[in-house]
Structure 1
Amino acid sequence: MKIAVVGTGYVGLVTGTCFAETGNNVICVDIDKNKVDKLSSGQITIYEPGLEKLFLRNQKEGRLHFTTSLADAVKDAKIIFLALPTPPGEDGSADLKYILGVADDLGKIIKEYKVIIDKSTVPVGTAEKVHAAVAKNATVAFDIVSNPEFLREGVAVDDFMKPDRVVIGTTSEKAKKVMNDLYAPFVRQGNPIIFMDEKSAELTKYAANSFLATKITFMNEIAQLCERMGADVDMVRKGIGSDERIGKRFLFPGIGYGGSCFPKDVQALVKSSTEADYDFKILNAVMDINEKQKLHLLPKIKAYFNNDLKGKKIALWGLAFKPNTDDIREAPALYMIDALLKEGASVAAYDPEAMNNVRTVLGTSITFCEGQYDALKDADILIIATEWSEFRTPDFDRITKLLKHKAIFDGRNLFDLKHMEEMGFYYVSVGRKTIGSNN
C-alpha cells in the first residue's frame, strides 16, 4: 500500500518506519525542512531502541521517503496518517490546531478517495471535527478513522510490530476493509483488531493511559503508607501483583510518572470530563498526587543536611522520564533539579541519552558529566531519578570513594536493602525503610 504520514515526531517516525518494514511504500511529511533533510540523509532524529536499524534498511530499500510537501506526500497515497502534536492548552485541553490545519489543507488537495486516520491522541469528537474540516473543501469521497497508538517509549518498535491489540474507530465498511488489510501482517499471532465507533476509539486511548497512571499513583500512595507503617512496598507489590486480576505491571513505586502521554492524557480527559459536566474525582487526585510525588525525596534530602542545602553538590543519575528514551517531558528529574537549585545546591548530572535535551532547557545551570562516576566527583550525595540498566549494578566501592557522604537517595528502588546495609550506606528509597543513620 501507499501511505502518507503527516508529522515526523515520535509517533509519526515509528509509524512510518514500521509500516515500511512490512513492504508498504511510505512518505513522511513535515514542515521542518531541517528535520526532513536530516531524515532524508539517513540521520534519525529520535532515540528509540531498534528503530534506527529499520529506518536505515527501509530507506535503502526505497520504501521510506521524506518531504516537506503535503501535496506530494498524499498525491498517490490511499491512506493518510495524521501524527501531529496535540499539546495541552493552559486549561488542560488538547490543542487541535495542527490536526485541523492539515485537515483543512487535505480537503483542497485530495482528488480521489482517501482514508484519513487520526493517529494522534485526540479528545472525543475530534473525528467529527476533522471530517468537517476536510469536507469544507473536498470534492471527493473520504473516510475519517480513529486509530490511537499504544506505543511505550523504549519498546515502541516491538509494540508496533507485535501489538497487544489494534483499536480502529470507524463506521465505514470501506474503511474497515482498508484498515484490516493494512494491519493484517501485525496480528498474525491472533491478537485482535478491535473495530468500534470513532468516539469510543478516541476515549479508549485516554482511558488506557489514565488507568495506568492511576495504577502507578495508587502504588505511590501505598508506598507512603509503607514508610509510615514500617511495611515494605516491594513485598506488597509482589503480594498483589501475583493476583491475575491486578497483574504485575505498573506496580513499581517511585518519584512519579512523566513523559509525553500520561500527564497530558490524564489532564485532557479531566478537561473533557468537565466539559461533559462530570467531575472525574479519581483523576484529579492522580494529578495532584503525582505532582507531589516528584519531590518525594526532597524533604528527606533536606533532613539529611539539617535543612541546609546551600553549597551542597548533588550528583544525579538519570534525566529522562524513563529508561531507553531521551524524552524529558515532565521528567521528575527536572522537578528535582529545579527544587535543589532553589535551595542553593549545585547539580552534576549524567544520563546516557537525555543530556542534550536537558541542556537545551537548562543551559549551564547544572553540570553535565561524561560518565556516571564523573558526576560523583566531590559530590555530597547521589540521587537516582531514572532506572537505566547501567545504574542497577554499579561499583559501590567507587561510589564510596568519590562521594563526600556515603548516602544514596534512590527514587527508583534499584538496590537491595540488605546489600546496602551490609555496605554501610545511608540509603533512602520509596516505600521501604531507610538504611543507616545520618549522624
Structure 2
Amino acid sequence: MDKDELMDAVNQDALEEHYNQMKVGIVGHGFVGGAVDYAFTHKDIEKFLVDLKYDTTIDDLVEWNPHFTFVCLPTPSIGDGIVDASLVEDAVLKLLEHTKGGVIIKSTITPDIVDRLYQSCFEDDWKRIVYNPEFLTESNAKEQFVNTDYHLLGGFPDACKAVAEIYSVYSLCHTTDFVFMSAAEAAFVKYGVNSFLATKVTFFNQLYDVIAKFGSNYPTVANAIGRDPRIGVGHTRVPGYDGKKGFGGACFPKDTLAFTKFDEDLTLLAECIKINNDYRKNYELDDREKSSNVDYGQTKEELENKSD
C-alpha cells in the first residue's frame, strides 16, 4: 500500500479493500497507549506495541511496516516548564522516513513543536501526520476513550478523513463526531481545554477559602453554581479527588506551565499557576508528578523534607 492509496482510504469499501488485515502500531503503552490498544480490539486488526516493558523498539516496528501508528509517548517538563518532545519527534520522523503508513500523534505537544515537526519533513511526509490529542484521566482512561464525545483530528484533510474512518470501522469508540482542523489548531485546543479547566479549579479553590472564612457551606454553594449549564459541576470539588487542594497530577501542572512558556501573554494562566503552587507546595509529589518533572516551586530542601 503506497501513500496515494492511504489518502484514498476514506470510505469503508476502500478500507476493506486495502486493509483486509489492518496493521496498527502503538508506540508507548502507558495509560494513553493502553486505552488505544483497548479501543482497537477487532478481528481484522493486528497490533504491534513498542514499549520498554515489552523489549520492543521503533526499529522493530519499522521492520513490521504498519499501516497506521499511534504515538503515545511522554512529554515531560524540562528546564523551567519547557516540553521535552524528543521521544515523540524521533519516533515520528523515523516512521515517516522508513514506512509509508500514517502517523497519529496522541502525545501532548505545543503548537511550536507541531510546526517544528512539519518543517522537519517533506510535504508528502507531513501529509501523513495527524495530531489526535486525548482528554483522558489515568484512572478511567479506557472507558473515557471509547465513550469520548468527539475525536479531534488535526492535519492534512485527507489524512484526517482516513483516521476518522479507521476509528469508525475498527475501534470500539462510540462517537461519530470528528472535528477536523490543522495540527497546530488541534494543539491549541488541547492546551486551551486543559488550561481553562485548571483555571476553573483555581477559582473554585479560592472560592472555597472565602466561603470557609465566612462560615458557610462550600458544597451547597458549589453545587448550586454548577446547576448553571454554562458552568457545570466538573472541576469544582475542593479538595480534589486526590485529597489535596489545587490542581495536580501529571497533566494540568505540566501543560499550564508549558503553555505560558509557549507565549508569555497568557498572564491570567500564569497567575493561576502561582496561586496553585501556593496550594500544592505543601504536599509531597506523587509518582505521576515526579515522572513528569512537575515542580510547584518547592526548594530542593523542601522536597527532601517532604520525602523523609
The TM tier, using the shorter chain, reads 0.7 to 0.9
| d(CA) in 2 for partners of 1:141, 1:170 | 8
Q: Look up the SS of the partner of 1:28 in the other structure.
A: strand
Aligned equivalent of 2:14: none
Output one character per residue of 1:150-201: Cα deviation in whole Å (capped at 9) or x when no partner.
111211011111112110002332x123211111155875551111111110
SS of the residue 2:203 aligns to: helix
Paired letter, 1:85? P
User: Higher relative contact order at CA 8 Å, sep ≥6: structure 1 or structure 2?
Assistant: 2
Counterpart-to-counterpart distance in 2, 1:270 and 1:122: 13
TM-score, scaled relative to structure 2: 0.78
Name the % identity.
29
Contact 2:132–2:186 (8 Å) recurs in 1: yes
- SS of match in other structure, 1:154: helix
| Alpha-carbon distance in structure 2 between the residues aligned to 1:92 and 1:70 | 30
Q: Deviations over 1:220-241 (max 9, x none)?
A: 0101111222222111111101
Query: In structure 2, which of residues 57, 70, 73 is the aligned counterpart of residue 84 of structure 1?
Result: 73
Task: Output the CA distance in 1 between the equivalents of 2:250 and 2:178.
Answer: 25
Q: Which residue of 2 aligns with 1:258?
A: 248
**Equivalence for 1:290:** 276
- Displacement of 1:217 in angstroms is 0.8
1:261-280 to 2 correspondences below 5 Å: 261-274=251-264, 279-280=265-266
Query: Aligned letter for 1:179?
Result: V
| AA matched with 2:254 | K
Q: Any idea what the Cα deviations from partners look like across 1:263-283, whole Å, max 9, x if unmatched?
A: 111011111112xxxx21211
Counterpart contact for 1:28–1:73, Cα < 8 Å: no
Q: Residue 41 of structure 2 contacts residue 172 of structure 2 at CA under 8 Å; is this kept in 1? A: no
Relative distance call for 1:144 and 1:102 in structure 2 (3 A) is same
Which residue in 1 is equivalent to 2:224? Answer: 239
Indicate the larger mover: 126-135 or 159-168: 126-135
SS in 2 for 1:149: coil
Secondary structure at 2:255's aligned position in 1? helix
Cα distance in 1, alignment partners of residues 288 and 148 from structure 2: 22
Of stretches 242-251 and 181-190 in structure 1, the one that deviates more from structure 2 is 181-190
CA distance in 1, matches of 2:211, 2:217: 6
Whether the 8 Å CA contact 1:27–1:73 is kept in 2: the answer is no
Computing the radius of gyration over CA atoms, which structure comes out larger, 1 or 2? 1
Instruction: For 1:261 and 1:216, locate their aligned partners in 2 and report how far apart those are by CA, in whole Å.
Output: 14
Match of 1:182 in 2: 166
Report if the CA contact (8 A) 1:100-1:133 is conserved. no
How far off is 1:72 after superposition?
3.4
Q: Name 2:192's counterpart in structure 1.
A: 207
Q: 1:169 to 1:22 in 2, by over 3 A?
A: farther
Counterpart Cα distance in 2 of 1:211 and 1:116:
28
Using the TM superposition, name which of 176-185 and 219-228 deviates more: 176-185
1:307-346 equivalence runs, <5 A:
327=288, 329=290, 342=305
Higher-helix-fraction structure: 2
Root-mean-square deviation (CA, aligned residues, Å) is 3.0
SS in 1 for 2:83: coil
Are residue 104 (structure 1) and residue 104 (structure 2) matched?
no
CA distance in 1, matches of 2:130, 2:226: 36
Counterpart in the other structure of 2:102: 115
- Alpha-carbon distance in structure 2 between the residues aligned to 1:341 and 1:116: 41
TM-score, structure 1 normalization? 0.56
Q: How does 1:15-414 map to 2 (within 5 A)?
A: 15-20=36-41, 23-30=44-51, 32=52, 35-37=53-55, 67-73=56-62, 75-110=64-99, 112=100, 114-135=101-122, 143-173=128-158, 175-184=159-168, 190=175, 192-254=177-239, 255-274=245-264, 279-294=265-280, 327=288, 329=290, 342=305, 362=307, 365=308
Between the two proteins, the alignment pairs up a number of residues equal to 275
Q: Which runs of 5+ in 2 are unaligned?
A: 1-21, 240-244
